[in-house]
């Protein structure tokens, strides 16, 4: 049994949403799952957009060793500038992760954004395969015969905002038989989500995987609308608490599935646990070196 996190406070730093409560629920689910998977002293979810606020998170930590996991899918504007300032760990942009600080008598280590983890290529493939398995209508489609449209956020405010999604695409392209084709699309940068409908992939079956943390407005509103779902129907589904996309839906020559966001995958807690245990090991090694000096 690995108890390397038993004396650590884990902070999940998330964006959140003022329009929808789903991101808050996603944080609560993940915090509960990590308590079981990682067995830390505590897990504290906090948000940039709403309470519990990032500004208060470090003050709530009961342990002197604090590991912060930015629940972001790129090492961009929010990871480098917005979250560090909101968390109170740095007023200056952070360009290199992981990074360690001594604050208020605590040793604080901020992990890289989740989207930078090399294991995300496996996770994306798993999300796509799970969706095809769950919705086999009209026939069961193997992932190797389908194309994956990976949808990230993107932003013109930072040059690195698309890089992690592009890295995942490149990694999967190296695995030639994992899927028929894969390409990245974005909410705020080209190629945009609506261009999936003009994608000249040889595969007629397309699995859209939101490269996002939670099922907030981008995942459950923007993507279905961009793929031609009538806004009236989407809003009615939201009001009823039902899915805003029917898997699969025919669009021109394509059958399109949309998966839940990668951040809601049942594989995420194990992925986060592994990377935070590695960071805790580094912190322990650094403490040992200090004592020897």
Residue 68, domain CATH: 3.40.50.1400
What is 78-123 written as a DSSP string? IIIIIHHHHHTS-SS---SSSEEEEETTEEEEEPPPGGG-TTHHHH
Residue 36 and residue 130 share a domain:
no
- pLDDT of 1 > 80? The answer is no
Average pLDDT of the residues in 18-46: 94
Residue 285's pLDDT band, with cuts at 50, 70 and 90, is low
| Number of structural domains found in the chain | 2
CA torsion sign for 52, 165, 278, 78 is negative
- pLDDT of 288 > 50? The answer is no
| Tens digits of residue pLDDT in 123-134 | 999 999 999 999
Task: Please state, rounded to an integer, the average pLDDT across all residues of the chain.
Answer: 92
Owning domain of residue 138: 120-212+216-259
Residue 86 and residue 144 share a domain:
no
Q: List, in sequence order, every residue forming a beta bridge with 109; answer none if it has no partner.
A: 67, 100
Q: Is 42 left (phi over 0), alpha (psi -120 to 50) or beta?
A: beta
- pLDDT of 289 > 80? The answer is no
How much of the chain, in percent, has pLDDT values that exceed 70?
96
Residue at 1 is within a domain: no
* pLDDT at residue 293, rounded to an integer: 42
Residue 246 and residue 160 share a domain:
yes
Three-state DSSP class for residue 138 = coil
Residue 282's pLDDT band, with cuts at 50, 70 and 90, is confident
Residue 273 and residue 149 share a domain:
no
Residue 225 and residue 156 share a domain:
yes
| Tens digits of residue pLDDT in 167-209 | 999 999 999 889 999 999 999 999 999 999 999 888 999 999 9
Answer yes or no: are the C-beta atoms of 225 and 234 closer than 8 Å: yes
């Amino acid at each position: 049994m690995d108890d390397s996190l038993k004396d650590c406070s884990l902070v999940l730093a998330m964006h959140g949403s003022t329009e929808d409560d789903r991101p808050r629920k996603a944080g609560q689910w993940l915090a509960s799952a990590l308590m079981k998977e990682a067995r830390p002293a505590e897990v504290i979810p906090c948000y940039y957009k709403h309470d519990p606020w990032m500004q208060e998170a470090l003050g709530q930590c009961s342990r002197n060793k604090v590991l912060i996991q930015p629940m972001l899918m790129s090492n961009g504007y929010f990871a480098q500038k917005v979250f560090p300032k909101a968390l109170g760990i740095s007023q200056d942009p952070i360009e290199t992760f992981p990074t360690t600080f001594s604050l208020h008598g605590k040793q604080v280590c901020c992990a890289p954004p989740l989207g930078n983890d090399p294991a995300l290529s496996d996770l994306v493939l798993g999300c796509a395969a799970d969706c095809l398995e769950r919705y086999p209508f009209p026939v069961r489609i193997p992932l190797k015969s389908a194309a994956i449209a990976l949808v990230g956020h993107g932003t013109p405010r930072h040059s690195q905002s698309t890089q992690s999604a592009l890295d995942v695409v490149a990694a999967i392209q190296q695995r030639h038989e994992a899927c028929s084709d894969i390409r990245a699309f974005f909410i705020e940068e080209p190629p945009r989500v609506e261009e999936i409908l003009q994608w000249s992939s040889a595969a007629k079956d397309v699995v859209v995987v939101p490269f996002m943390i939670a099922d907030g407005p981008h995942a459950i509103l923007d993507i279905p609308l961009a793929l031609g779902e009538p806004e009236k129907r989407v809003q009615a589904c939201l009001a009823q608490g039902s899915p805003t996309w029917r898997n699969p839906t025919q669009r021109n020559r394509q059958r399109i599935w949309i998966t839940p966001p990668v951040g809601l995958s049942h594989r995420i807690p194990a992925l986060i646990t592994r990377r935070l245990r590695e960071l805790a090991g580094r912190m322990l090694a650094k403490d040992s070196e200090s004592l020897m000096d």
